[in-house]
Structure 1
Amino acid sequence: MTHDHDLVLRPTEAQISTALNPPPGRIGGDLVVETLAGLGATTVFGLPGQHALGMFDALRRSALRHVGLRVENNAGFAADAYGRMTGEAAPLLLSTGPGALTSLAALQEAAAASAPVLAISSQVPTAGLGGGRHGYLHELPDQTASFRGVVKSVHTVRTQSQIPSAIAAAWKSALTAPHGPVWVEIPQDVLLAPTTLPVVTAPDATPEDLVPRPELTAVAAHLLSRAERPAIIAGGGVVRSDASGKLKALAERLDAPVVTTFGGKGAFPWNHPLSLQSWLEDRHTTDFLEDADVLLVVGSGLGELSSNYHTFKPRGRVIQIEADLGKLESNHPALGIHADARLALQALLETVEERTDESAPERVRDLLSRVSQRIAAQELTLEQDVLAAVRRALPADSPSFWDMTILAYWAWSAFDPRGANTMHSAQGAGGLGYGFPAALGAAAADPTCPVLAVSGDGGALYSIAELATARQYDLPVTWLIVDDGGYGILREYMTDAFGQATATELTRPDYVALAESFGVPGVRTTAESLEADLAKALTSPGPSVVVLPAVLRMFAPTHLG
């Protein structure tokens, strides 16, 4: 009997000849870029450093496109967005010590948002591994220890023959649900040494499917089919697994209202009769979800932001579909189904019985009306007008990337993303500086589509250097900077908590003049001219900056009572 795993493809004579006669002048770094190309990568992010030069020299002999940002953390944000937009593992090339460590905040965001980033870092020479014996520049006693608590998996290389398999294993890990960042490190001498190994061709790194257990989906289908008031919470896992179509089909079959988390923006059509939109920081929404007798949670761990700051207390039966095993039932008892959202939703579609509830759309309309009345009573016209202007100016198919800023907090709840995988923010880990470099990564993924980045002036100062990147690669990113004179949301938090704010006021540059000094067109706008100025910038080729001086306020939270 012959088993599939016993079959070995026999190389052709041409392949044998090529393998026996590799091109001259190759080094360990070539094995890195050859493996990436063989896995299907076309673009790499990152910036060189002393120990990593072997990888960057090899790029010269490769067809891979290198997008070089100015700060490692920003390069990580760009790779994160590239991974989110393409569904591919985004290679991020880093150097040892300070360069590697500077990427940590970006990798934390990628981990929280399940973005597939393949970080490949250099290390000190193998003779110096193990701690401080040689005093190499950039040396850490245990570099991987700094990343193990952040990334999904760590892969160490100590010889050239280990490079292809280690990178392939990391690639597979990054793209197996739940997606996430992974870490590979290779010593400097291994990258620089000449190699006689054959050119790497097509390593196998097919991600594993995370299939739901059929007895669990059978119980879930039974509960949903017989529910009186089913509801659905759709998280980022629906977007990452490209399952928004299956979610819509299931919701319609069950007549179940759907709310999306801030990470799941776009997972369900905003204006659908069953759409509760994404007003999670609203007690009316929380009450509605608590009243569901069967609540299906797909691709969300029901963390702080998705549970109205842990005030959400479901009274009905909870079914949770989650690819991250550590998040399964971590916040609420549930029928936990460890699975990829797409595969689990497909299983439910095949087994659930259709139910009809003509009252569901009316209950949705009533809830949204109450939310609207609550916001209208707070006299926040400027904030709503600004967000509406952004929506009108942004083409329907253009992605947007939002920093941690007041307008982004509004957008989490009130912005119609007009499609899955189009609106992204740093709400996974909550670090500043995400918006603009992430938008650059999305533009690198598809330079034919304009991209919007939104920052406050505080977050913008984290990313100013990347105006040079935007200009160098002529990336079609329009950067909206809302300038309120400091860390606006922290000013508001501190004033509410302590009566006054400390350390929140900032001296800022003239952002328009600064953008123009990089060769990037800039314009200062007003709330009244924002739509026209944004629309013009988004339809103009290359990068641009639009600055809106405005002090925005948050709507009052309702998670406290």
Structure 2
Amino acid sequence: MTSTERIGGDVVVETLQALGADTVFGLPGQHALGLFEALRRTDDLRVISSRVENNLAFAADGHARARLAADPEGPVPVTPMIVSTGPGALLTLASLQESRAASVPVLGISSQIPVAGLGGGRHGYLHELPDQQASFRDVVKSVHVVRTVGQIPTALREAWESAATAPYGPVWVEIPQDILLAQTDLPRITSVTARPAPLAPLPELVTEAANLLGAAKNPVILAGGGALRSGAQAELKALAEALRAPVLSTFGGKGVFGWDHELSGQSWLEDWHSTEFLSAADVLLVLGSGLGELSSNYREFAPRGRMIQIEADLGKLESNYPALGIHADVRLALQGLLEQVPFRQSDGAAEKAVSELLGKVRERLDGQPLETERKLIDDIRAAVPEGTQTFWDMTIAAYWAWSAWNPERAPIHTAQGAGGLGYGLPGALGGAAATGGPVLAVSGDGGAMYGIAELATAVQHGLDVTWLVVDDGGYGILREYLTGAFGQSTATELARPDFAALAGAFGVSATMSSLDTVGKDLADALGTPGPSVVVLPALLKMFEPTHLEKK
């Protein structure tokens, strides 16, 4: 085979470019050689590598989230990711679970063993699985299988449309090794276009919802991740102001409504006062949330009025609470509601209720010895330049940020969708690839070890990421959970490296910080181009559980 002969891998690359991709996250493998040879031949796709496939998938997720945050009303930024068969593919599963839970449009492309080994054919191929598709079928939105070169453009278009259709999510495409390497006389692919079908609401349901909201004396809105993903910021603001309805957001919905808006109850969803505020609404409008464990304050939420739930994921609609369920993209549904709801003059009641709610939250926090934790979040927030995107691992600092982070100047992306460790650094690397940086990553010392190898990726690709590692000597939140439940913890204390010295070994500048200096240290690092690490030895605490306060 000569370097000028077009192969199946070229058809993949051409199709991705036609669909609008400009960046691909990829990690080579034996069965995927045809894909990477095709990527070498093009100057129109940037290839970002990684050291481990799960981190590669997290990076693709971070790239898509960053672009969604930067242009919420633009085309859905599906991000392609390429891995090899078997072990490489399987390592992406936990990361794809996060993308699925958080509705992030990632297009996973995997090679496969040759066609002869599929469907009960020949056995004994390297990396062979009896049924690789089956491993992904219940994790991603859809699985697409290619068996000839001619099927590649259609399979990729269908997968792209699936990823970009509300609810967004990851999809999976498998292409056998011999198909990727096969010579082809197909003409160059330039005209493939994805057209995701809009998920519009049934008009009679919108009318019923508008009637309920129009008659409500105490309407409240809970905005979830689906509202954020749909780019419904303008419509939500208009509806809240028309109804004079307070708006609280879930952790995944942070940023969809102005944090300091006079109707914003912010996102203290693990606070009993917020839970009661939502429960007391005579009509509660839930936008893009399935009201799962975190959003319902661990099932403590108990609505006493009518509930309207607008949700793009049909399986989540009315799955936890009875409601007037409207299966639709949130933005389209809000556009319909705005045409029918009445406009109310403000009498100050809603604004007063919101102010009282936030006052109760502050009073609750003031009654606990949490000055260190609250100041840390404030210091981090002050250090981050306007427009900087932030990516948080599952660590106590992130648990605080879920509730306390003001996302107005600095969007927040967290791994609370599926709750797996290791998201912070690789997610931020994807975000930096999307925005050019600077980008902030926040991890604990436990989660940091999942992605420490990706410091090499940051250096190799010149990605402008500052990584804050909060070192408390172990799995801090699990230490709290175990100690709270049993009086002691097991397997939470960790041996760990000198993170600053290790960063230096990668050629990354590092600073040993303190609670007194972390704000300045972060500001300096974020203001210096290129990757950097700030290590903060600190033992943080969570605020007290809500159920204790109810008693």
Aligned to 2:257, the other structure's residue is in SS state coil
* Superposed counterparts of 1:202-213, under 5 Å: 202-213=191-202
Question: 1:406 is aligned with what amino acid?
Answer: I
57, 61, 66: which one aligns with 1:80? 61
When structure 1 is superposed on structure 2, of 348-357 and 191-200 the one drifting more is 348-357
Question: Residue 47 of structure 2 corresponds to which residue in structure 1?
Answer: 66
Question: Residue 374 of structure 1 corresponds to which residue in structure 2?
Answer: 364
Q: Is the CA contact 1:322–1:340 (under 8 Å) kept in the aligned structure 2?
A: yes
Aligned to 1:166, the other structure's residue is in SS state helix
Aligned to 1:276, the other structure's residue is in SS state strand
Q: Is the CA contact 1:321–1:339 (under 8 Å) kept in the aligned structure 2?
A: yes
* Superposed counterparts of 1:116-515, under 5 Å: 116-131=105-120, 133-356=122-345, 357-418=347-408, 422-447=411-436, 449-515=437-503
Q: Could you give the per-residue CA deviations for residues 161-190 of structure 1, whole angstroms, max 9, x where no partner exists? A: 000100000000000101000000000010
Q: Is the CA contact 2:466–2:534 (under 8 Å) kept in the aligned structure 1?
A: yes
Report the CA distance between 1:286 and its aligned residue. Answer: 0.7
Report the CA distance between 1:77 and its aligned residue. Answer: 0.6
Output the TM-score relative to the length of structure 2: 0.96
Question: Residue 5 of structure 2 corresponds to which residue in structure 1?
Answer: 25
Q: Is the CA contact 2:141–2:162 (under 8 Å) kept in the aligned structure 1?
A: yes
Aligned to 2:325, the other structure's residue is in SS state strand
Q: Is the CA contact 1:308–1:559 (under 8 Å) kept in the aligned structure 2?
A: no
**Matches of 1:77 and 1:244 in 2, distance apart?**
26
Q: Is the CA contact 2:18–2:193 (under 8 Å) kept in the aligned structure 1?
A: no
When structure 1 is superposed on structure 2, of 131-140 and 373-382 the one drifting more is 131-140
Report the CA distance between 1:24 and its aligned residue. Answer: 4.1
When structure 1 is superposed on structure 2, of 83-92 and 112-121 the one drifting more is 83-92
20, 28, 50: which one aligns with 2:30? 50
**Matches of 1:30 and 1:250 in 2, distance apart?**
48
**How many percent of aligned residue pairs carry the same amino acid?**
66
**Matches of 1:317 and 1:132 in 2, distance apart?**
57
Q: Is the CA contact 1:282–1:559 (under 8 Å) kept in the aligned structure 2?
A: no
Question: Residue 4 of structure 1 corresponds to which residue in structure 2?
Answer: none
Report the CA distance between 1:85 and its aligned residue. Answer: 2.1
513, 521, 542: which one aligns with 1:533? 521
Report the CA distance between 1:559 and its aligned residue. Answer: 4.0
Question: 2:77 is aligned with what amino acid?
Answer: E
Unmatched 5+ residue regions in structure 1?
A: 1-22
Q: Is the CA contact 1:291–1:316 (under 8 Å) kept in the aligned structure 2?
A: yes
Q: Could you give the per-residue CA deviations for residues 419-439 of structure 1, whole angstroms, max 9, x where no partner exists? A: 5x8111000000000011000
67, 88, 99: which one aligns with 1:110? 99
When structure 1 is superposed on structure 2, of 34-43 and 345-354 the one drifting more is 345-354
Question: Residue 101 of structure 1 corresponds to which residue in structure 2?
Answer: 90
Unmatched 5+ residue regions in structure 2?
A: 68-75
**Matches of 1:134 and 1:412 in 2, distance apart?**
48
Report the CA distance between 1:311 and its aligned residue. Answer: 1.0
507, 520, 528: which one aligns with 2:508? 520
Question: 2:528 is aligned with what amino acid?
Answer: S
Report the CA distance between 1:249 and its aligned residue. Answer: 1.1
**Matches of 1:559 and 1:61 in 2, distance apart?**
60
**Matches of 2:379 and 2:121 in 1, distance apart?**
56
**Matches of 2:385 and 2:264 in 1, distance apart?**
22
Q: Is the CA contact 1:225–1:355 (under 8 Å) kept in the aligned structure 2?
A: no
**Matches of 1:214 and 1:132 in 2, distance apart?**
51
Q: Is the CA contact 1:450–1:476 (under 8 Å) kept in the aligned structure 2?
A: yes
CA RMSD, 1 decimal? 1.1
Q: Is the CA contact 1:398–1:450 (under 8 Å) kept in the aligned structure 2?
A: yes
Report the CA distance between 1:456 and its aligned residue. Answer: 0.2
Q: Is the CA contact 1:309–1:559 (under 8 Å) kept in the aligned structure 2?
A: no
Question: Residue 15 of structure 1 corresponds to which residue in structure 2?
Answer: none
* Number of equivalences: 537
Q: Is the CA contact 2:395–2:477 (under 8 Å) kept in the aligned structure 1?
A: yes
Question: 1:142 is aligned with what amino acid?
Answer: D
